[in-house]
């Protein structure tokens, strides 16, 4: 989020919310009425596999849509 926020001008919190909206939209169904309600999932409720898939989607979106190539999470990067 630090790199994306610096490159786009959004705060880290704003960028986090943008990414949640982009990748973590879900729906809950009311069992009684059948009505669906949209909500945003939290990254804390994702399994390791889901989080890994989220990162892959984020990297693809960032480079393809925003033109920002993010480093691999295992790379050490100095931020100035």
Number of helices (H), then strands (E), belonging to the chain: the values are: 3, 2
Predicted pLDDT of residue 29: 95
Q: What average pLDDT is seen over the chain?
A: 91
pTM: 0.76
Interval 36-63: pLDDT, tens? 999 999 999 999 999 999 999 999 999 9
Instruction: Give the integer Cα–Cα distance in Å for 57 and 59.
Output: 6
Strands (E), 15-62: 25-29, 36-40
Place 74 in a pLDDT band, splitting at 50, 70 and 90.
Answer: confident
**In the chain, what percentage of residues exceed pLDDT 70?**
94
Average the pLDDT over 4-18 and give the result. 95
Instruction: Give 39's strand partners.
Output: 26
């Amino acid at each position: 989020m630090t790199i994306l926020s610096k490159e786009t001008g959004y705060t880290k919190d704003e960028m986090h919310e943008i990414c949640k909206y982009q990748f973590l939209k879900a729906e809950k169904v009311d069992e009684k009425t059948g009505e669906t309600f949209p909500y945003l999932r939290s990254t804390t409720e994702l399994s390791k596999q889901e989080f890994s898939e989220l990162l892959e989607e984020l990297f693809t979106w960032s480079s393809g849509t925003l033109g920002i190539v993010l480093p691999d999470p295992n790379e050490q990067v100095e931020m100035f």
